[in-house]
Amino acid sequence: MTRPAEYRAHFDFSLSFANGGGLAGEGFRLDLPSAHLGDSEIATLLVRHLGLALVRDVELRDLRIVEEPHRGSRGVETAPTTERRIIDLSHRIEAGLVTYPGLPAPVITPHLTREDSRNKYAEGTEFAMDIITMIGNTGTYLDAPFHRYADGGDLAALELETLVDLPAEVFHLHDAWTPERRGVDATALADRDLAGAAVLLDTGWSRHFGTPAYGRGAPFLTEGGARHLVEAGAVLVGIDSLNIDDTENGGERPAHSILLAAGVHVVEHLTDLAEVPARGARFTAAPPAVRGFGTFPVRALAVVGDDR
């Protein structure tokens, strides 16, 4: 099923308050519930999104309405999807896959080939049994607290309630960071109720996965952003980038340290997050329950349009 078309308004604005003063903005972008809205309706949505009161006049300039995925403007609900759709957010794992530069790639070897199995089973019956040798940081994977802290919970200690069917809050951030300012800070994440949610950061970086470009100049979550998500009550934080931390600032890993210390799971190397609406989807990413292990691949997915 094709995702319904979504629209945003691009404009400059100025507004005045009934009790004095004013506010102006340039290059503002706002989600729209429909492409067929007039200036006054868009002005009302702007005021609602900004949470303003006592507004007297709003002037919009250079208004353009474009087809573009919603970014999560307040007061604008994504068009409901009635048909249930499951979106796979995981990279495929195969022999030789390079997930993170410098880490070993998975090796897949046969334990029992189909040919050899024919001597063990009834005529016409055959099986393949294979061995995969890989580091836990392969493909799309989840970090448990044990990954960072020796006394933290391992994969087997994770509660399924914190991994399965979580309300997803997706921040579409393709135009919210630059090569000069790669960090996603608290200010970009401050306009939503995130308690109990899986917060997913769609930076667009997954388009480089499997290429040398993936390992350099990647966007990340700042220390301030990580503290905000913990204080906001997020249960899980995912990103479609090389790492949730900046790997080019030396050995510091503040986002991992802050999130995992608070018991907030981290999922890295997601993909196709642009297909998930800003709100309304349900997210699942459950690793096997391995004792004494802190990181393992997951089949991450989002369910959209579930009518529960």
Quote the CA–CA distance of 26 and 13 in Å, as a whole number: 7
Q: Which positions ≥6 away from 224 have C-beta within 8 Å?
A: 185, 186
Digit-coded pLDDT (tens) for 93-149: 999 999 999 999 999 999 999 999 999 999 999 999 999 999 999 999 999 999 999
Terminal CA-CA length for the chain: 19
Digit-coded pLDDT (tens) for 257-272: 999 999 999 999 999 9
pLDDT for position 74: 76
CATH numeric code, 141-304: 3.50.30.50
CA-based radius of gyration for the chain: 23
Digit-coded pLDDT (tens) for 26-49: 999 988 888 888 998 898 888 888
Nearest to 167 by CA among 284, 282, 274: 282
Amino acid at 115: E
**pTM, entire model:** 0.85
CB 256 within 8 A of CB 286: no
Q: Could you tell me the pLDDT band of residue 82, with boundaries at 50, 70 and 90?
A: low
Q: Could you tell me the pLDDT band of residue 1, with boundaries at 50, 70 and 90?
A: very low
Q: Where are the domains of the chain?
A: 7-67, 141-304
Candidate ranges 169-178, 184-193, 286-295; pick with highest mean pLDDT: 286-295
Question: By CB neighbour count within 10 A (0-12 exposed, 13-18 middle, 19+ buried), where does 275 fall?
Answer: middle
